[in-house]
């Protein structure tokens, strides 16, 4: 058996459909040989057609989940997804400062679900921008999220390096800007402004499929797993992108909307 290593505490919302959120995070970290732990920030009633409801988790209970995990198990990387409300963001920041100083943080600024449903209250945007992002080792916004954060339009792949630099000016050590939302049939481009200030461009052919639900959560968690396992950031991102691509290509085709990935693409067949 492969030895499991790399402890990742995932702070995010739950997706009842299993394609995104904490479910995708756990699957991704596990599939790449890491150990996933969780602090659930919100419950969603969700499927491939969209988000049908959100049930809030009290901030005090989010704090308790984080404290008991960090005090006992520790973490090699923190992955942050859906935080939803200002008080949740403030609580998460407080516990990270007191219980996980120096632990790398991968923050996926989850704002909008695949179907267009808002996953972040308006009042939480300022807290995210000014309080959480400056703490992050790496942020992983998609283009719509990046445009909100920097209040600027990103028209094409050539705009992405400058946008990544604008995002870095908000305080994170590194930025992975994902270009999947660019229109057209051209190559899919992501850019990484790494923690050494170097710009990296990743390019792949697009995959023609609607089954891409949870790609952002999956990529961020897979990257966090790599960082937890000691990979250099650019290698952690490259491995995560390869994993996500393989998971999309082998998707199970479930649901009638934006279907899930095959997070178990790395797992041997026991059938």
Tally Cβ neighbours within 10 Å of residue 146. 25
Q: What is the pLDDT of residues 167-178, one digit of tens each?
A: 999 999 999 999
The model's confidence at residue 113, banded by pLDDT at 50, 70 and 90, is low
Known catalytic residue at 215: yes
Known catalytic residue at 38: no
CA distances from 217 to 12, 19, 28, 73, 99 (A): 9, 9, 9, 23, 24
Per-residue exposure over 42-52, b if at least 16 CB sit within 10 Å of its own CB, e if not: bbbebbbebbe
Q: Cβ contacts of residue 8 below 8 Å, gap of 6+?
A: 25, 29, 34, 35, 36, 37, 75, 76, 77, 78, 79, 221, 224, 225, 228
Which pLDDT value is given to residue 1? 45
Of all residues in the chain, the percent with pLDDT exceeding 90 is 83
Known catalytic residue at 137: no
Which one has a higher pLDDT value, 233 or 129?
A: 233
Which pLDDT value is given to residue 253? 96
Q: What is the pLDDT of residues 246-271, one digit of tens each?
A: 999 999 999 999 999 999 999 977 76
Model-level pTM?
0.94
Which single residue is written with the structure tokens 């970290």? 29
Domains in the chain, start-ordered, CATH in brackets? Answer: 13-261 (3.40.1190.20)
What's the chain's average pLDDT?
93
Q: What is the pLDDT of residues 192-229, one digit of tens each?
A: 999 999 999 999 999 999 999 999 999 999 999 999 99
Helices (H) and strands (E) in the chain, counts: 8, 9
Known catalytic residue at 212: yes
Given 215, 223, 226, 259, the catalytic residue: 215
Whether the per-residue pLDDT at 124 is higher than 80: the answer is: no
Q: What is the mean pLDDT of residues 225-246?
A: 98
The model's confidence at residue 122, banded by pLDDT at 50, 70 and 90, is confident
Given 217, 223, 226, 259, the catalytic residue: 217
Known catalytic residue at 50: no
Q: How far is 24 from 17, CA to CA, in rounded Å?
A: 10
């Amino acid at each position: 058996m492969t030895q499991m290593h790399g402890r990742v505490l995932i702070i995010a919302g739950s997706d009842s459909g299993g394609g995104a959120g904490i479910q995708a995070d756990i699957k991704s970290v596990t599939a790449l040989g890491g150990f996933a732990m969780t602090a659930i920030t919100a419950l969603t009633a969700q499927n491939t057609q969209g988000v049908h409801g959100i049930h809030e988790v009290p901030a005090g209970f989010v704090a308790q989940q984080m404290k008991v995990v960090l005090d006992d198990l520790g973490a090699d990387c923190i992955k942050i997804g859906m935080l939803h409300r200002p008080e949740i963001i403030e609580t998460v920041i407080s516990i990270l400062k007191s219980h996980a100083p120096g632990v790398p943080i991968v923050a996926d600024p989850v704002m909008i679900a695949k179907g267009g449903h808002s996953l972040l209250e308006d009042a939480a945007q300022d807290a995210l921008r000014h309080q959480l992002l400056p703490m992050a080792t790496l942020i992983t916004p998609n283009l719509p999220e990046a445009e909100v954060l920097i209040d600027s339009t990103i028209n094409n792949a050539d705009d992405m390096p400058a946008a990544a630099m604008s995002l870095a000016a908000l305080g994170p050590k590194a930025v992975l800007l994902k270009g999947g939302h660019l229109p057209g049939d051209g190559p899919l481009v992501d850019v990484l402004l790494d923690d050494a200030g170097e710009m990296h461009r990743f390019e792949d052919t697009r995959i023609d499929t609607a089954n891409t639900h949870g790609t952002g959560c999956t990529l961020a968690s897979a990257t966090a797993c790599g960082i937890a396992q000691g990979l250099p950031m650019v290698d952690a991102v490259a491995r995560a992108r390869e994993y996500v691509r393989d998971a999309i290509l082998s998707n199970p085709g479930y649901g009638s909307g934006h279907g899930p990935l095959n997070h178990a693409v790395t797992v041997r067949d026991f059938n």
